[in-house]
């Protein structure tokens, strides 16, 4: 029985994979084709949701949560409201704005650690592995400690369709990890402790698939990017681990993101609501070139990791229940060889990275975990490790065929 259901799932996944292009083409109104640097299209009358819109089919209460959540996501924190003592940004939108509120950006944050005999030490006691670049007082400023011998940048990722990604059942991601793959590709699910639910879950958010839920990521971001403590992350970061400096500059003792006794919720919940209800990136109608590029994408085995479609499971929210998610990722960790950032995090080793979802790429200007790639083609050429074989196939394509692949990637 188990074997049969596995086979069926594989069949379903590969079928939808092959037809994702057509599905995209039929579900959405024709829109003009864009170059990645052009502004996003304005919503067409009768068209589907655009970048930054809410999921389709939400009721009035959910739309109200979406707007209230967006207000929180855009709110600028101040020291009096809990910002700092050390931080990387003053609002979520500061780093998540490309295309619309909730997008990526070209902003990176710094991670550091110490690698000795192949073992990674995040230098927790020195404020690692995440550097906070700013402080409410110059005395509290963090620096990359001299002990660090690994320093890596991490690019802000987009949140469009994040609720759909959250709603993909753990079991489906685990099953995908068992699917036989070509080219020695072997993805691994990131099993993480989810702070919000207190459960062991399959991680799916972040470059290392280090978080499983949006509420946990929101709490993590409020603390680690803005220095705002919450019920989920109550412990303030000490500047480079220095408790005396923390005591001196932590203006608000205790939890800063106060829970409203009437609702039991706080800013982290509102930010999570906003991200959960954000519509996925709107696919464009595919040109002949893009459709040809989609076939090449399959032939080069890009889809062995960049799975075109996964599905959400049962969900209390109808808009998130049993939906296709055309994210172009298996959400698994892969050994990417020299492309890895050498930072071990959660269950991911230094070389392991989460397959980056490829939907909505056209809203962005920089690519890969550290933003080193200024074009999509450069990002493909940097694939290594398990991705080396498909990179070699991409490099071997004629220039016109490479353009078809890029046209495809700009349409999803
Ligand atoms: C200083 C810039 C910065 C700020 C401010 C910031 N983020 Fe991020 N965000 C990032 C970076 C960088 C990543 C990738 C992190 C990683 O994987 O290490 C990220 C990733 C995420 C992700 C994971 C998305 C995915 O699919 O990978 C979520 C969710 C998120 N941020 C939510 C938030 C929220 C909510 C806030 C406000 C509380 C926020 N961020 C503030 C830079 C920022
Ligand atoms: C072995 C799995 C694997 C295969 C095969 C693979 N990729 Fe990737 N891809 C990844 C991972 C993992 C990342 C994130 C890497 C990083 O930034 O460290 C990524 C990132 C990308 C990015 C950048 C996305 C972003 O958010 O910046 C693009 C574009 C991309 N892949 C396209 C392709 C194309 C086209 C192919 C086929 C020629 C391909 N990939 C094959 C795993 C794979």
pLDDT at site 69: 98
Instruction: Report whether 369 contacts 351 (CB < 8 A).
Output: no
Identify the nearest ligand to the CA of 154 by its number.
Answer: 1
The mean pLDDT value for 156-169 works out to 98
Query: Ligand 2: distance of its center to the CA of 158 in Å?
Result: 15
Residue 152 tokens read as: 């890596």
Mean pLDDT of the chain, nearest integer: 90
CA of residue 332 to ligand 2 center, whole Å: 12
Residue range 12-58, pLDDT digits in tens:
333 333 333 333 333 333 333 333 333 333 334 447 899 999 999 99
How much distance in Å is there from the Cα of 324 to the middle of ligand 2? Answer: 21
Determine if ligand 1 sits within 6 Å of the CB of residue 94.
yes
The residues, any chain, with a CB within 8 Å of residue 232's CB and separated by 6 or more, are 195, 196, 215, 216, 219, 268
- Predicted confidence (pLDDT) at residue 244 exceeds the cutoff of 80: yes
| Residue from 96, 106, 210 whose mutation best tests the ligand 1 pocket (most atoms within 8 A of CB) | 96
Q: What pLDDT score was predicted for residue 392?
A: 98
Mutate to test the pocket of ligand 2, among 340, 350, 355, 362 (most ligand atoms within 8 A of CB): 355
Residues 255-277 have pLDDT tens digits of 999 999 999 999 999 999 999 99
Reading the block at residue 160, the tokens are 């469009």
pLDDT > 50? residue 7: no
- Residue 367 CA to ligand 2 centre (angstroms): 10
Q: Which of 167, 175, 130 is nearest to 148 (CA)?
A: 130
Question: What pLDDT, on the 0 to 100 scale, is given for residue 33?
Answer: 37
Q: How far is CA 102 from CA 276, 306, 370, in A?
A: 11, 22, 19
Range 303-316 average pLDDT: 97
Q: Which atom of ligand 2 is nearest to the CA of 357?
A: 26
Q: Confidence band (pLDDT; 50, 70, 90) for 356?
A: very high
For residue 44, the model assigns a pLDDT of 40
**Using a 6 Å cutoff on CB, does residue 394 contact ligand 1?**
no
Question: Cβ–Cβ contacts within 10 Å for residue 338, how many?
Answer: 11
Mean pLDDT on 171-199: 96
Q: What is the pLDDT of residue 64?
A: 97
Instruction: State the Cα–Cα distance between residues 159 and 205, nearest whole angstrom.
Output: 9
Looking at residue 129, its pLDDT comes to 97
pLDDT tens column, 328-340: 999 999 999 999 9
């Amino acid at each position: 029985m188990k074997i049969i259901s596995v086979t069926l799932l594989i069949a379903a996944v590969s079928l939808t994979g092959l037809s994702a292009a057509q599905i995209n083409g039929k579900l959405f109104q024709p829109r003009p084709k864009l170059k990645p640097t052009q502004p996003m299209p304005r919503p067409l009358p009768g068209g589907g949701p655009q970048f930054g819109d809410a999921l389709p089919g939400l009721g009035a209460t959910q739309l109200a949560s979406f707007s209230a959540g967006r207000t929180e996501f855009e709110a600028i924190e101040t020291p009096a409201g809990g910002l700092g003592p050390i931080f990387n940004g003053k609002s979520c939108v500061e780093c998540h704005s490309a295309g619309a509120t909730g997008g990526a950006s070209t902003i990176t944050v710094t991670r550091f650690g110490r690698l000795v005999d192949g073992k990674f030490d995040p230098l927790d006691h020195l404020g690692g592995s995440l550097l906070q670049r700013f402080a409410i007082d110059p005395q509290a400023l963090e620096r990359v400690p001299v002990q660090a011998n690994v320093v890596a940048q991490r690019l802000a990722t987009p949140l469009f369709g994040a609720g759909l990604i959250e709603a993909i059942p753990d079991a489906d991601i685990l099953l995908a990890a068992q699917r036989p793959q070509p080219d020695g590709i072997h993805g691994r699910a990131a099993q993480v402790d989810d702070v919000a639910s207190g459960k062991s879950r399959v991680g799916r958010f972040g470059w290392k698939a280090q978080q499983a839920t949006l509420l946990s990521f929101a709490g993590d971001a409020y603390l680690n990017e803005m220095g705002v403590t919450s019920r989920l992350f109550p412990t303030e970061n000490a500047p480079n681990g220095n408790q005396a400096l923390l005591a001196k500059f932590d203006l608000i003792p205790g939890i800063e993101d106060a829970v409203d006794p009437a609702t039991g919720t706080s800013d982290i919940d509102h930010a999570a609501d906003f991200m959960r209800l954000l519509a996925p990136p709107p696919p464009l109608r595919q040109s002949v070139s893009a459709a040809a590029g989609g076939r090449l994408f399959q032939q080069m085995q890009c889809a062995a990791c960049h799975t075109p479609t996964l599905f959400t499971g049962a969900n209390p929210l109808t808009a998130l229940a049993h939906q296709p998610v055309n994210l172009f990722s298996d959400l698994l960790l892969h050994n990417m060889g020299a492309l890895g950032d050498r930072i071990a995090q959660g269950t991911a080793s230094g070389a392991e990275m989460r397959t980056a979802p490829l939907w909505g790429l056209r809203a962005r200007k920089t690519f890969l975990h550290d933003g080193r790639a200024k074009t999509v083609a450069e990002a493909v050429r940097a694939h290594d490790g398990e991705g080396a074989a498909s990179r070699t196939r991409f490099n071997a394509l004629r220039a016109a065929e490479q353009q078809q692949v890029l046209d495809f990637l700009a349409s999803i």
